[in-house]
C-alpha cells in the first residue's frame, strides 16, 4: 500500500471526529445561469476537448469516492445514442434535504455552482473534480441527464434537461445496491458534432488506474463493441515504465520516492534515459497538469539540489561548473503525483498548478528523499550524475563554439561540418528518430513518380540510411548513394549497390552519369539550394529524372509559424520553401516536365524534437507554438494535442519530379 493510501485510509477512519459525507457537508454558494452562455469558460472549449472534459469530470468525481476509501469499481459506458454513463459503487450521492436550501442535496449538486462536498473543506481530503463545478457543468451542458442513486437501502432517480430538473427526486423503493450512476447526452447545440473518443478515455483511465493502485476501471463502447478493464498495483512506477517503454533507460530500476507532510502527499518515480528530451508527467489529486506548475518546479529544484550536493557530483564536477535545469532534466522520464487539499490552478481546466508553497514543500521533501536515495544507491547515483555532467558539458561546449558562428551568415563549409557531426550522432537511432523516415506510404509516393526504365542507374543524394533509393526496389537497376557522414554511409551500404563520400554541392561524378537522381528533405537545410539542384541536373543524362520530397507549409497562413517550429528543431534550417517556390526553382535551374504530388503524414512531434540538435529551450518553445497556435493556423494546418500534452502534426509532403531537357 502506498503512503498516500495509508494517509487516506487514516483520514477515512477519522469519521468519528470528521463529519460524514451527508447533506450537512454541502455549502451552497451561487447559481448556475452562466454555464450554458460561457461553456468554454467552464470546461475549456465547446469542441471535442470540452466534451471529453464532461466525462472526465464524472470519472474524477467517482474517483473521489475511491480516494475516500468508499468505492472499488468505476464503470464507463459509451452508448449507441452518443450518451455516456459513469457509474461507481461508492456511498451514493447524498439525497437528504439540504438544511438551508430545503431541496435534495443530489439535486443541488447537479444544479448549483460551488455546491460540491469538497468545497466545505471536509468529507473529501484530496479531491480531483473542478471545485464543485463539475456535476453542475456536466448537467447544464447536457441535453438530458439521468441521475440514479443507491444509498442507505433505497434507490432514487431524477432526470434533467439542460440543467433543469424534469421532476423531483423519486424514491423507487428498497434496494441493497450502493453507488451512483450518471448518464448524460452532451448538448449538440453546444458541442456540435463532437463525439466521445474511446481511445482518449481509455488513455485517461489507464493513467488513473496507475495513479490509484487498486481501483478497477471498466469501460465499454457499445457503439463499436469494445471493452477494457484496468487495475494496476504498480502505481507511479508502473506509469513511468509505460511512458519510458520506447526509450533506453540508463539505470534499470526507477528511483521511487514517497513523502508526506500534514497537507501534502508526494509520490515520484524517476528514470534517466539515453534520450535528450525530458518527459515529466505530473498530477495533482489524480488530475494531469500538462503545463506542470509549482509541483514540477519543486521537483526540478529537488533534483538540482540533491545532485549538486551529492559527494559524487562534488568529486566529478569541475570547479565553476554551473548546472541549470535542462542539464538535470536531459533524458529524464518522471511521474510526479501529489495530493493536496484545495489545489489552486491557473484555470478551470487545471493544466498548471499555482501554489508557491507547494513548490517549496516538494523541493524540500523530494530533495531530502533523493539525497537519501543517492547515499544508499551510489551506483545509480553515479550513472545519473554522469548523465547530468555530460549534458552540462555538451551545453557548455555548444555554447562556446556555437556563439560566434551564430553571428555569421551560414557558410557552406561550416554548415557541412555541423551537418556531418549532427547526422553522425543521429545515425545511432536514425530510423527511430521520427516517423516520416520509414513511413511506407511516403516512400511509395516517391517511387511512384519514377518514369525511367528498369535498367536505370540511380544516384541517391544525401542518402542517409539509403532508405529512399532502396524503396525504388526493382524500378531501377543500379543504385549509388552519396553522403558526407561516414556513419550514414555505413547504414546505406546495406540498401544500395554502392555508397560514395561526397557533397551535394560538388557531386563526384561526371556529367550525364545517371538516369535518375533522388533525395528527400534536404533542400531546406542547404543555403545554396539552387546550386545543389544544378549539380543534380549536371549528373543526369538528357531526359533523366530528378525526384525529391520536401515538407512544405499548407499556405501563406501557416508559413511563418512552421518556419519557427522547423528552425527551432533544426538550427541548420534555412529555406522555408512553399510548394510553388520549388516548382519555380526546378524550372529556373533548367528542368522541364515538372510534376508534383502530395502526401499527408501524421508526425509525432515529441519524438521528432527528441534529438541532439534541438535544445531543451527550443523543445519547450516548439510545444508552446502548438499549444498557442493562432486560430488561422489551426484552420489550415491540422495538428492534435492529446490529453497528456503529446502533439502530432499533419505534415504536408510534396514530392517533385523534373526532367533534364532531351
Count of positions on this chain that bind other proteins (CB under 8 A): 31
DSSP state, 654? E
**Neighbour count for residue 311 (Cβ, 10 Å):** 12
Question: Rule CB under 8 A: is residue 417 a binding residue for other proteins?
Answer: no
Closest distance of CB 636 from other proteins, Å: 12
* Dist. CA 572–CA 412, nearest whole Å: 11
Cα–Cα distances (Å) from 555 to 560, 561, 633, in that order, read 10, 11, 10
Closest distance of CB 344 from other proteins, Å: 12
User: Contact region for other proteins (CB under 8 A) — 139-147, 223-231, 407-415, 602-610?
Assistant: 407-415
Question: Rule CB under 8 A: is residue 411 a binding residue for other proteins?
Answer: yes
Q: Single out the residue of 346, 598, 632, 640 in contact with other proteins (rule: CB under 8 A).
A: 632
Question: Rule CB under 8 A: is residue 300 a binding residue for other proteins?
Answer: yes
Closest distance of CB 406 from other proteins, Å: 5
**Neighbour count for residue 139 (Cβ, 10 Å):** 26
* Nearest-10 crossing angle of helices 378-407, 356-376: 120
Site string for other proteins, 267-296 (x = CB under 8 A): ---------------------------x--
Write out the binding residues for other proteins, residues 464-483 only, by CB under 8 A: none
Question: Rule CB under 8 A: is residue 391 a binding residue for other proteins?
Answer: no
DSSP state, 417? H
Closest distance of CB 567 from other proteins, Å: 7
Of 240, 403, 254, give the one whose Cα is nearest residue 336.
Answer: 240
Please name the residue ranges forming H helices in 471-609: 486-492, 529-539, 556-569, 579-589, 605-608
User: Contact region for other proteins (CB under 8 A) — 47-55, 170-178, 298-306, 495-503?
Assistant: 298-306
Which three three-digit cell numbers place residue 33?
A: 445561469
User: Contact region for other proteins (CB under 8 A) — 106-114, 120-128, 352-360, 469-477?
Assistant: 352-360
Q: What's the residue count for the chain?
A: 662
Closest distance of CB 41 from other proteins, Å: 17
Closest distance of CB 559 from other proteins, Å: 10
Question: Is the Cβ of residue 362 or residue 585 nearer to other proteins in the bound state?
Answer: 362
Rg of the chain, C-alpha, whole Å: 29
Closest distance of CB 505 from other proteins, Å: 18
Question: Is the Cβ of residue 322 or residue 580 nearer to other proteins in the bound state?
Answer: 322
Closest distance of CB 563 from other proteins, Å: 7
CB 530 within 8 A of CB 500: no
CB 215 within 8 A of CB 204: no
Which three three-digit cell numbers place residue 633?
A: 493556423
Tell which phi-psi region holds residue 20, choosing left (phi > 0), alpha (psi between -120 and 50) or beta: beta
Tell which phi-psi region holds residue 645, choosing left (phi > 0), alpha (psi between -120 and 50) or beta: left
Write out the binding residues for other proteins, residues 612-631 only, by CB under 8 A: 625, 628, 630-631
Tell which phi-psi region holds residue 92, choosing left (phi > 0), alpha (psi between -120 and 50) or beta: left
Cα–Cα distances (Å) from 514 to 99, 191, 517, in that order, read 89, 57, 7
Site string for other proteins, 500-539 (x = CB under 8 A): ----------------------------------------
Tell which phi-psi region holds residue 536, choosing left (phi > 0), alpha (psi between -120 and 50) or beta: alpha
Side-chain-side CA neighbours of 296 within 13 Å: the count stands at 23
Question: Rule CB under 8 A: is residue 407 a binding residue for other proteins?
Answer: yes
Question: Is the Cβ of residue 301 or residue 422 nearer to other proteins in the bound state?
Answer: 301
Question: Is the Cβ of residue 356 or residue 661 nearer to other proteins in the bound state?
Answer: 356
* Dist. CA 558–CA 637, nearest whole Å: 7
* Dist. CA 373–CA 371, nearest whole Å: 5
Which three three-digit cell numbers place residue 254?
A: 526507477
Q: Single out the residue of 211, 358, 459, 537 in contact with other proteins (rule: CB under 8 A).
A: 358
Please name the residue ranges forming H helices in 212-336: 235-243, 294-308, 311-316, 325-329
Question: Is the Cβ of residue 52 or residue 339 nearer to other proteins in the bound state?
Answer: 339
Q: Single out the residue of 61, 212, 271, 301 in contact with other proteins (rule: CB under 8 A).
A: 301
Element (H, E) at 399: helix 378-407
Closest distance of CB 409 from other proteins, Å: 5
Closest distance of CB 362 from other proteins, Å: 9
Residue with cell 508553497: 357
User: Contact region for other proteins (CB under 8 A) — 198-206, 401-409, 415-423, 529-537?
Assistant: 401-409
Question: Rule CB under 8 A: is residue 326 a binding residue for other proteins?
Answer: no
Question: Is the Cβ of residue 241 or residue 325 nearer to other proteins in the bound state?
Answer: 325
Which three three-digit cell numbers place residue 476?
A: 531501377
Say if strands 142-151 and 179-186 run parallel, antiparallel, or are unpaired: antiparallel
Question: Is the Cβ of residue 585 or residue 633 nearer to other proteins in the bound state?
Answer: 633
Closest distance of CB 645 from other proteins, Å: 20
Q: Single out the residue of 37, 319, 400, 409 in contact with other proteins (rule: CB under 8 A).
A: 409
Of 173, 181, 48, give the one whose Cα is nearest residue 106.
Answer: 181
Question: Is the Cβ of residue 268 or residue 499 nearer to other proteins in the bound state?
Answer: 268
Cα–Cα distances (Å) from 534 to 41, 166, 479, 502, 539, in that order, read 56, 75, 20, 16, 9
Q: Single out the residue of 92, 249, 298, 470 in contact with other proteins (rule: CB under 8 A).
A: 298
* Dist. CA 483–CA 461, nearest whole Å: 7
Closest distance of CB 43 from other proteins, Å: 22
Side-chain-side CA neighbours of 5 within 13 Å: the count stands at 13
Closest distance of CB 615 from other proteins, Å: 11
Question: Is the Cβ of residue 29 or residue 555 nearer to other proteins in the bound state?
Answer: 555
Which three three-digit cell numbers place residue 530?
A: 539552387
Q: Single out the residue of 123, 270, 329, 355 in contact with other proteins (rule: CB under 8 A).
A: 355
Question: Rule CB under 8 A: is residue 633 a binding residue for other proteins?
Answer: yes
Site string for other proteins, 546-585 (x = CB under 8 A): -----------x--xx-xx--xx-----------------
Question: Is the Cβ of residue 107 or residue 291 nearer to other proteins in the bound state?
Answer: 291
Closest distance of CB 328 from other proteins, Å: 14
Question: Rule CB under 8 A: is residue 359 a binding residue for other proteins?
Answer: yes
Residue with cell 480516494: 67
Write out the binding residues for other proteins, residues 20-49 only, by CB under 8 A: none
Closest distance of CB 408 from other proteins, Å: 5
Closest distance of CB 630 from other proteins, Å: 4
* Dist. CA 205–CA 36, nearest whole Å: 27
Question: Rule CB under 8 A: is residue 297 a binding residue for other proteins?
Answer: yes
Say if strands 216-221 and 226-230 run parallel, antiparallel, or are unpaired: antiparallel
Residues binding other proteins (CB under 8 A): 294, 297-298, 300-301, 324, 355-360, 363, 406-409, 411, 557, 560-561, 563-564, 567-568, 625, 628, 630-633
Amino acid at each position: 500500500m502506498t503512503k498516500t493510501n495509508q494517509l487516506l485510509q487514516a483520514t477515512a477512519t477519522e469519521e468519528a471526529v470528521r463529519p460524514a459525507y451527508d447533506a450537512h457537508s454541502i455549502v451552497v454558494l451561487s447559481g448556475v445561469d452562466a454555464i450554458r452562455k460561457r461553456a468554454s469558460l467552464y470546461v475549456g472549449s465547446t469542441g471535442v476537448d470540452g466534451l471529453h472534459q464532461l466525462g472526465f469530470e464524472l470519472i474524477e468525481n467517482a474517483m473521489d469516492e475511491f480516494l475516500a476509501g468508499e468505492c472499488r469499481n468505476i464503470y464507463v459506458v459509451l452508448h449507441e445514442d452518443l450518451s455516456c454513463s459513469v457509474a461507481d459503487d461508492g456511498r451514493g450521492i447524498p439525497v437528504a434535504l439540504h438544511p438551508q436550501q430545503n431541496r435534495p442535496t443530489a439535486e443541488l449538486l447537479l444544479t448549483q455552482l460551488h455546491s460540491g462536498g469538497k468545497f466545505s473543506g471536509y468529507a473529501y481530503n484530496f479531491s480531483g473534480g473542478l471545485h464543485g463545478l463539475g456535476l453542475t457543468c456536466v448537467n447544464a451542458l447536457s441535453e438530458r441527464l439521468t441521475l440514479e442513486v443507491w444509498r442507505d437501502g433505497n434507490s432514487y432517480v431524477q432526470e434533467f434537461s439542460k440543467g433543469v430538473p424534469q421532476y423531483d427526486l423519486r424514491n423507487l423503493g428498497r434496494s441493497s445496491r450502493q453507488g451512483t450512476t450518471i448518464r448524460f447526452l452532451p448538448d449538440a447545440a453546444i458541442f456540435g458534432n463532437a463525439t466521445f473518443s474511446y481511445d482518449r478515455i481509455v488513455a485517461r483511465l489507464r493513467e488513473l488506474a496507475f495513479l490509484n493502485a487498486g481501483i478497477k476501471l471498466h469501460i465499454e463502447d457499445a457503439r463499436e463493441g469494445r471493452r477494457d478493464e484496468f487495475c494496476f498495483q504498480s502505481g507511479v512506477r508502473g506509469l513511468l515504465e509505460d511512458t519510458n517503454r520506447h526509450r533506453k533507460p540508463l539505470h534499470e530500476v526507477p528511483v521511487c520516492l514517497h513523502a508526506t507532510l500534514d497537507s501534502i502527499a508526494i509520490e515520484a518515480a524517476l528514470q534517466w534515459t539515453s534520450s535528450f528530451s525530458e518527459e515529466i508527467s505530473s498530477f495533482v489529486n489524480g488530475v494531469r497538469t500538462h503545463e506542470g506548475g509549482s509541483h514540477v518546479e519543486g521537483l526540478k529544484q529537488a533534483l538540482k539540489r540533491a545532485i549538486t550536493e551529492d559527494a559524487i557530483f562534488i568529486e566529478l564536477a569541475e570547479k565553476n561548473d554551473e548546472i541549470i535545469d535542462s542539464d538535470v532534466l536531459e533524458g529524464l522520464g518522471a511521474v510526479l503525483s501529489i495530493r493536496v487539499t484545495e489545489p489552486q490552478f491557473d484555470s478551470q481546466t487545471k493544466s498548471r498548478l499555482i501554489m508557491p508553497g507547494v513548490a517549496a514543500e516538494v523541493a524540500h521533501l523530494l530533495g531530502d528523499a533523493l539525497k537519501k536515495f543517492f547515499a544508499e544507491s551510489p551506483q545509480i547515483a553515479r550513472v545519473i550524475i554522469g548523465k547530468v555532467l555530460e549534458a552540462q558539458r555538451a551545453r557548455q561546449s555548444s555554447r562556446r563554439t556555437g556563439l560566434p558562428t551564430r553571428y555569421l551568415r551560414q557558410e557552406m563549409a561550416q554548415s557541412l561540418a555541423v551537418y556531418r557531426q549532427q547526422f553522425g550522432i543521429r545515425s545511432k537511432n536514425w530510423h527511430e528518430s521520427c516517423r516520416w523516415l520509414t513511413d511506407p506510404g511516403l516512400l511509395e509516393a516517391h517511387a511512384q513518380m519514377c518514369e525511367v526504365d528498369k535498367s536505370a542507374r540511380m544516384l541517391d543524394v544525401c542518402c542517409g540510411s539509403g532508405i529512399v533509393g532502396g524503396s525504388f526496389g526493382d524500378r531501377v537497376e543500379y543504385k549509388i548513394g552519396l553522403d558526407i557522414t561516414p556513419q550514414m554511409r555505413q547504414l546505406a551500404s546495406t540498401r544500395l549497390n554502392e555508397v560514395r563520400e561526397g557533397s551535394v554541392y560538388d557531386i563526384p561524378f561526371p556529367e550525364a552519369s545517371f538516369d535518375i537522381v533522388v533525395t528527400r528533405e534536404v533542400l531546406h537545410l542547404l543555403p545554396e539550394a539552387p546550386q545543389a539542384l544544378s549539380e543534380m541536373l549536371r549528373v543526369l543524362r538528357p531526359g533523366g529524372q530528378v525526384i525529391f520530397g520536401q515538407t512544405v507549409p499548407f499556405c501563406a497562413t501557416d508559413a511563418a509559424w512552421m518556419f519557427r517550429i522547423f528552425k527551432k528543431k533544426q538550427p541548420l534550417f534555412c529555406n522555408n520553401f512553399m510548394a510553388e517556390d520549388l516548382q519555380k526553382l526546378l524550372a529556373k535551374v533548367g528542368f522541364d516536365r515538372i510534376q508534383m504530388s502530395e502526401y499527408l503524414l501524421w508526425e509525432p512531434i515529441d519524438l521528432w524534437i527528441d534529438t541532439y540538435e534541438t535544445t531543451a529551450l527550443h523543445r519547450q518553445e516548439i510545444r508552446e507554438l502548438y499549444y498557442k497556435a493562432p486560430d488561422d493556423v489551426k484552420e489550415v494546418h491540422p495538428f492534435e494535442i492529446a490529453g497528456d500534452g503529446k502533439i502530432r502534426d499533419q505534415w504536408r509532403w510534396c514530392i517533385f519530379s523534373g526532367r533534364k531537357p532531351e
